[in-house]
Amino acid sequence: MVEAFAVASGKGGTGKTTTTMALGMALAEEYDVTVIDADTGMANVLFHAGLAAVETTLHDVLAGKATVEEAVYDRFGMTVVPCGTSLSGFKEAEPERLRDVVATLAAETDIILLDSPATLGSRSAVLPIVLADRLIVVVQPTIPSLSDAMKVQEYATTYGTGVAGVLFNRVTDDAAIDDIAPKAERYFEGETLSTVAESETVRAARRAGEPLLAYAPDSPAAEAYRQAAASLSVQARDAGTVADRFRSAVIPDEL
C-alpha cells in the first residue's frame, strides 16, 4: 500500500521542509516512510537531514546520470532522497523524470512525502502537487499565507489531488489561531492537522542538521507533529496502480 502526499504551501518559509521531516519521523513509527526533496530549485531537505555532504542526489537522477537507488539514504528511520543545491544541477534536471522516481519508490514504501516548491510559478514547481494523492498544506496564520495556500489547493484539486489537511506553523498568538483555525476549515478541504508554535527549538534543530523529532523529541513542537501524524488517516492504495498513475501522469503544459 502507498499514499503520496505533497507538503505544500503558497509562500516559502512557512516550514514545509521542517514539516516534511518532522511529520515523516512521526509517521515512521507506524509506517514505512520515504521523503523526496521535490523542491528541486530550492532544495533543503539535505540540510535538515544531515545529508549536506552526500555525493549523489535527486538532481543526478533527474539528469539521467544516476539510478534512483544511488540517491536513496536511510536516515532517522526513513528513506530520504535529498536534492542538490547547485544552479547547474537544477538546470540539467528534467522535471518529468520525477514521475519515474516516485513510481519506482512507490513499490517499496507505505507513505511518500514530497517536499514541494512554494509557488505555482513553473512546470517543475507544480509537478509534485499534480503527482500527489493529497496535499498537506503548511500555512502561517496570516491572510497572505492562507490566501496563497488556497490558490495552491484550487490548482491541486483541478488535477484530482485531494487535501489531507492544513497544518498551522510558526504560530505566535494562541488566541488568534483559535479564531483563524475554524474559519480556515471552511475554506480548506481537509481538517486542521495540528498547530505548531514559533519556537527556538525548531530553528536549533535545523542548525544542528537534524529533524526536530530527533533533535528535541520531547519538545511541544515535536508533540504537535506527532499529533498531526495521528490525525492523518493514510489511505492504502495498491502500489502497482499508484506507480502506473505516476508514470502516466500528464504534466501541465502551462499553469
Ligand X SMILES: Nc1ncnc2c1ncn2[C@@H]1O[C@H](COP(=O)(O)OP(=O)(O)O)[C@@H](O)[C@H]1O
- Of 175-214, binders to Mg ion (CB under 5 A) are none
CB of 207 to ligand X, least distance (A): 8
CA-based angle 144:15:146, to the nearest 5?
20
Give the nearer residue to Mg ion in terms of CB position, either 40 or 195: 40
CB of 1 to Mg ion, least distance (A): 27
> How many residues appear in the chain?
255
The closest alpha carbon to 96, from 70, 55, 130, belongs to 130
Tell me which residues in 4-23 interact with ligand X (CB under 6 A): 9, 12-18
Nearer to ligand X, 18 or 79 (CB): 18
Toward Mg ion, which CB reaches closer, 44 or 169? 44
In 3D space, the residue among 161, 65, 153, 124 whose CA is nearest the CA of residue 252 turns out to be 124
Please report, for the chain, how many H helices and E strands are present, in that order: 12, 8
Integer CA distances (angstroms), 23 to 87, 120, 157, in order: 28, 23, 23
> Which residue, 68 or 138, has its beta carbon nearer to Mg ion?
138
Q: Does 40 bind Mg ion (CB under 5 A)?
A: no
Which range, of 54-62, 76-84, 175-183, 195-203, touches ligand X by CB under 6 A? 195-203
What is the total count of residues that contact ligand X (CB under 6 A)? 18
